[in-house]
């Protein structure tokens, strides 16, 4: 899904949000935007919210997150979930 844009809601439903970030956090956000190929930092926020919502729903149902590579499995901890 790299580089693809998510469908946006009509302009009249857009709400502007001001977020205070440290320079390091802003640089991290911009680097992530570039790595993902997204057109905007707002898209990183939108996708992140969806991912955190989905992760929270799974955790509420008792699921655990794990990463696997070459037969090795490690737990993955999602902040706040």
% of the chain beyond a pLDDT of 90? 74
Q: What pTM value is reported for the model?
A: 0.72
Q: What's residue 81's pLDDT?
A: 67
DSSP-derived secondary structure for 15-79: --------HHHHHHHHHHHHHHT-S-HHHHHHHHHHHHHHHHHHHHTT---EEEETTEEEE---T
Confidence bin at 78 (pLDDT 50/70/90): confident
> Per residue in 25-57, pLDDT tens?
999 999 999 999 999 999 999 999 999 999 999
């Amino acid at each position: 899904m790299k580089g693809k844009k998510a469908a946006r809601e009509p302009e009249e439903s857009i709400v502007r949000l001001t977020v205070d970030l440290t320079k390091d956090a802003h640089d991290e956000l911009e680097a992530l935007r570039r790595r993902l190929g997204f057109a905007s930092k707002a898209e990183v926020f939108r996708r992140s919210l969806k991912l955190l919502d989905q992760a929270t729903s799974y955790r509420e149902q008792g699921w655990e997150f794990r990463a696997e590579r070459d037969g090795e499995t490690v737990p993955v901890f999602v902040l706040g979930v």
